[in-house]
Amino acid sequence: MSSSESLPNNAPRVEKSDADWLRELTREQYRITRRKGTEPPFTGAYWNATAPGVYHCVCCGLALFASTDKFESRTGWPSFTRAVADHVQEREDRSFFMRRTEVVCAGCDAHLGHLFADGPPPSHRRYCVNSAALTFERGSE
């Protein structure tokens, strides 16, 4: 998806300067979403959350994951079996001498975490996401 394209429901892509992101996000949110950081396991706000609702991108507000797709992975990070269609993009990540799949918000390119093939059936997918990259809207999906 190019930066001039719109997301589903005609939501525009969000593009801001680093200075703008620094003003709008906490240091931790900026480090994780804009600089591809990772929070320590078992420290984020949502790693063990069970309330019904929808998880959104902390940067642009795009809906990313439904609580019905969240599962306990015992990794210390929020884990999901699937993302909201077309709202999360996958990219190859070869950092730290590893080959992984990075997941980013389709609305603003925020780094969310990584995708692994060790989730529960039937998809066997585990979106391992940093809590600091998310906000949560309580309620029904």
Which of the residues are catalytic?
128
d(CA 65, CA 80): 7
Among residues 115, 114, 89, 118, the alpha carbon closest in space to that of 2 is found at: 89
Return the H-helix or E-strand segment holding 75.
Answer: none
Tokens encoding 72: 């306990």
DSSP H helices in the chain: 18-24, 27-33
Q: Is 73 helix (H, G, I), strand (E, B) or coil?
A: coil
CB 129 within 8 A of CB 80: yes
